């Protein structure tokens, strides 16, 4: 197991482009998680958790700690996509690993935009 991890990390360091993409993914995730975490304020006021066009009410509300799931989501997605990209680099090749890493960047970005939108809706409603 130790040898497999060492070999995978050696391949990652040898591929500079993938190393940069994974570094950007992890750094983005960390910065976004810190920003969202510092933007959350505890209060008795409920905030919008999701929207649906069906039903009597279109906005569904939840407690403030619902936003903490976005912090965990950012970190979990970045770590898992990084691990999967490194594993795919060893088994499937460089192009698939880079694609997975860029998908991770996209998912982290969309999660950040969603969390910012929910934080902005908190002030409107």
pLDDT tens, position by position, 34-73 = 998 888 877 766 766 666 667 666 777 777 777 788 889 9
User: So what's the pLDDT on residue 56?
Assistant: 66
pLDDT-above-70 percentage for the chain: 86
Q: Kindly give the residue spans of alpha helices, DSSP state H, lying in the chain.
A: 2-14, 16-39, 68-91, 94-124
Would you say the pTM of this structure is higher than 0.85? no
* Nearest residue to 67 via CA among 92, 45, 100, 90: 45
């Amino acid at each position: 197991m130790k040898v497999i991890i060492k070999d995978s990390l050696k391949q990652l360091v040898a591929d500079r482009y993938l190393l940069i993409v994974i570094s950007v993914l992890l750094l983005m995730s960390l910065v976004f998680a810190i920003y969202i975490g510092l933007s959350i304020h505890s209060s008795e006021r409920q905030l919008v958790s999701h929207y649906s066009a069906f039903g009597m009410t279109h906005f569904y509300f939840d407690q403030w700690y619902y936003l903490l799931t976005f912090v965990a989501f950012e970190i979990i997605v970045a770590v898992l996509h990084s691990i999967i990209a490194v594993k795919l680099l060893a088994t499937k090749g460089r192009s698939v690993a880079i694609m997975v890493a860029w998908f991770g960047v996209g998912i982290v970005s969309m999660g950040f935009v969603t969390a910012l939108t929910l934080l902005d809706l908190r002030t409107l409603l």
